[in-house]
């Protein structure tokens, strides 16, 4: 793995999303933006230590990219970092924000919010194993009956007891009892000012804000208060939003007309080595929002790309259905 070199690498991040931010998705997203920091789906320590690690870790053409780990045992997290090192990720992130039943049953994810010393111990073990590769944490403001302002104590404890200096904060509480994972993304109210306060209280830390951010204008507004922004579903469901992400780094925006041929080239190359068309096209269904022919484009990809042996001609026909400039 190589350490980060780009200044302010986290100004714009695409969140880790289960079943969405796959290696194929990230390779496509990298064509839309050269600079945005991409994150993998969460991978549990058990999947790497006892499962097919290569299947979970192999990736290409997506740097800068962070591997997100799920786990709550320092030794297992350190071992997972050691296994991941040869795969060339630019960062390893600990998930302390996911509220799903799966993580609750294993005492990982958002459950760890009630044990900041353990989180610090986990991050310290991870950093020792990761060497020069930065280890970071993604977390909520609080869980269940905790006061949201407990996040200040959480950050202080973790920062003082571990080498972690990058905190990605989803600006909501997580209710582990009574709300589904889907509801936890929307129902708990957002508290952006509290995340801003974390940055004011700990100016030496890199603070990235996540949750409910809808467009680049909102990103710029948040960047007046914190170091970076992280977008999830809105970036996935409308990947054209990513075209302008590089402007946050002082670089030119990409254009869809320039990116589409690159997407075709990437997909054709991956098809030539036996990968299924649908592994890529399913991540492109959000293109062309509001454009005439977009519904036909989505129907072609949804219905035909999954067929055995589906080729690049299906992608070409889908594009031809859209009245894009």
CA distance 170 to 240: 23
| Cα 125-126-128 angle, rounded to 5 deg | 65
Give the up-direction half-sphere exposure of residue 174: CA atoms within 13 A in the CB hemisphere. Answer: 27
**Cα–Cα separations (whole angstroms), residue 175 to 153, 179, 199:** 19, 6, 24
> Which of 79, 26, 77, 86 is closest to 54 using CA atoms?
86
CA torsion sign for 167, 3, 266, 36 is positive
Looking up tokens 């509001």, which residue turns up?
Answer: 290
What count of Cα atoms within 13 Å lies in the side-chain half-sphere of residue 55? 7
Q: Rounded to whole angstroms, what are the CA distances from 143 to 62, 163, 171?
A: 33, 24, 12
- Whether 98 sits among the annotated catalytic residues: the reply is yes
Whole-angstrom Cα distance, residue 277 to residue 180?
32
Q: Which is it for the CA torsion 75, 76, 78, 79, positive or negative?
A: positive
- Which DSSP letter does residue 17 get? -
Rg (CA), the chain: 20
Contact 232, 182 (CB under 8 A): no
Rounded CA-CA distance 165/208 in Å is: 11
Burial class of residue 150 (count of CB atoms within 10 Å of its CB; 0-12, 13-18, 19+)? middle
Q: Residue 264, preceding bond cis, omega within 30 degrees?
A: no
Catalytic residue among 98, 111, 122, 164: 98
Give me 60's structure tokens: 């290409």
3-state secondary structure of 109: helix
> Catalytic amino acids?
98
């Amino acid at each position: 793995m190589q350490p980060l070199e780009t200044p302010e690498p986290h100004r714009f991040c695409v969140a880790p999303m289960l079943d969405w931010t796959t290696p194929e998705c990230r390779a496509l997203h990298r064509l839309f933006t050269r600079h945005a920091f991409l994150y993998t789906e969460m991978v549990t320590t058990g999947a790497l230590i006892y499962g097919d690690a290569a299947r979970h870790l192999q990736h290409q053409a997506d740097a800068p990219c962070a591997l997100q780990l799920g786990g709550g045992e320092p030794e297992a997290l350190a071992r997972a970092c050691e296994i991941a090192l040869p795969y060339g990720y630019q960062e390893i992130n600990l998930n302390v924000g996911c509220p799903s039943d799966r993580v609750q049953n294993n005492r990982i994810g958002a459950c760890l919010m009630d044990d900041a010393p353990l989180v610090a111990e986990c991050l310290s073990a991870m950093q020792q194993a990761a060497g020069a590769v930065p280890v970071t944490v993604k977390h909520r403001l609080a869980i269940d009956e905790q006061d949201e302002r407990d996040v200040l104590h959480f950050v202080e404890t973790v920062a003082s007891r571990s080498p972690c200096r990058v905190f990605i904060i989803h600006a909501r509480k997580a209710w582990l009892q009574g709300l589904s994972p889907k509801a936890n993304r929307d129902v708990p109210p957002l508290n952006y000012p509290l995340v801003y306060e974390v940055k004011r209280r700990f100016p030496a830390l890199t603070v990235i804000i996540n949750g409910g951010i809808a467009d680049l204008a909102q990103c710029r507004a948040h960047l007046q208060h914190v170091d970076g922004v992280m977008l999830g579903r809105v970036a996935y469901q409308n990947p054209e939003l990513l075209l302008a992400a590089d402007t946050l780094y002082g670089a030119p925006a990409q254009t869809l007309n320039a990116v589409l041929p690159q997407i075709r080239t990437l997909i054709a190359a991956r098809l030539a080595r036996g990968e299924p068309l649908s592994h890529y096209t399913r991540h492109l269904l959000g293109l062309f929002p509001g454009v005439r022919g977009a519904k036909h484009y989505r129907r072609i990809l949804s219905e035909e790309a999954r067929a055995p042996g589906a080729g690049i001609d299906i992608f070409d026909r889908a594009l031809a259905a859209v009245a894009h400039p």
